[in-house]
Structures are given as C-alpha cells and as structure tokens.
Amino acid sequence: MKPFPNILLVAGSGRNVGKTSVVERLIHGFKDHGIIALKVSPHFHALRGDEEFIVRKNEYNIIEENTTGSTKDSSRFLRAGAQKVFFIQALGKNLEEAFNRTFDLLPEHAALIVESGGLRDYIKPGLFIYVKGKQNDNKPADYSSKADVITNLSDFDTNRITWTGKEWKVK
C-alpha cells in the first residue's frame, strides 16, 4: 500500500455523521496552506450540467468543482477556503485508477484533504480521521481500526492536527 503523507483522509461510520463538516473545519483551519480537497463518491450522482470534467468515462468521472453556490459537498469545500476541489465519482474497482489519475494532476507535496471511505483500501494517508455517528451504523466496511483519530463531529478539534509542509500529523 503506497504511503501518501500529504493526504489527510476523512471517512466515517455512515451517512450524516459529520464527515463533510469535519472536512470543512479542516479546510478552514488550514486554508493558508493552499489546501486541495477531494470528495470521492463510490457511485454516480446526478450532476448540474455545467461541470468541468477532467475525465469522463463509464467507470469514473473526475470533475473540478467550479461553483460555491451549490449544496454539494464539493461546493462546501470551496466555500470553506480550499484552493481547488475535485469531485471523483468511481465505481468500487475503479476508485484506485481514478484517484491515481487525479493525484497525477496535483502539485507534488500539496496539502490534500480527502473525504472518502473506500480510498483507505488503496492508500496509506499521512493521517486518517474516522468520524463516528451517535449510533453504530451497520456499514459493511468499518475502517475505524485503521484510523489515527476516531472522533464524532461535536468533539472534533482541528487544533489537534498539524501540517508540517510535507505531511499531516496529530499533535
């Protein structure tokens, strides 16, 4: 499994547990470092029609988010202060290829914050934050055993996290 020390990965125990809100807090707290954010979805969503496709395939899409006026997570990341945001839609087995293709487009050693559960199967991030809900979701893939930080939204504190200029760490 390839290490990516410049990636802070956020996943969670299910839907609506606060993953996107944690990512927004992180972006806002570290926006002076030129954060690039990725939102990864393991399925295809309906799109607005004005997306800027970097790659458009049957197996995956890579889209650069270009609007702050949407309720989509990727728009929220831009509003929080990300320098750039990419939205990856990839069916399970194509996630690694889609991620690698996106990663190749980015500056070396850029500070990346990624919201994705499934990506943890393919990479070793510099820091992995797992967001728990109030109750256990019966999610098939539980990544909590691989997490560096396990938290819930109300207890999450960005002051525990640091960016060294090359990697993410817990203080």
Residue 167 lies in a domain: no
Q: What is the pLDDT of residues 55-88, one digit of tens each?
A: 888 899 999 998 888 878 899 999 999 999 999 9
Token pair belonging to 150: 């396990």
pLDDT score recorded for residue 44 = 75
Residue 66 lies in a domain: yes
Q: What is the pLDDT of residues 6-46, one digit of tens each?
A: 999 999 988 888 999 999 999 999 999 999 999 998 767 76
**Quick check: 127 and 8 in contact, CB under 8 A?**
yes
Token pair belonging to 80: 């929080």
pLDDT score recorded for residue 92 = 79
Residue 101 lies in a domain: yes
Residue 115 lies in a domain: yes
Token pair belonging to 122: 């393919």
Residue 116 lies in a domain: yes
- What CATH number does the domain containing 108 carry? 3.40.50
Q: Residue 135: is its pLDDT beyond 90? A: no
CA of 60: how far to CAs of 10, 89, 143, in Å? 21, 5, 23
Look up the domain containing 62 and give its range: 2-162
Q: Residue 139: is its pLDDT beyond 70? A: no
Residue 120 lies in a domain: yes
Q: What number is the average pLDDT over the span 144-166?
A: 94
Residue 169 lies in a domain: no
Cα angle for residues 126, 3, 28 (degrees, 5° grid): 30
- What Rg, from alpha-carbon coordinates, does the chain have? 15
Total number of domains constituting the chain: 1
pTM of this prediction exceeds 0.95: no
Could you tell me which residues come within 8 angstroms of residue 111 by beta carbon, excluding any fewer than 6 positions away?
6, 8, 30, 33, 34, 35, 36, 163, 168
Residue 131 lies in a domain: yes
CA of 53: how far to CAs of 46, 98, 116, 158, in Å? 14, 13, 19, 32
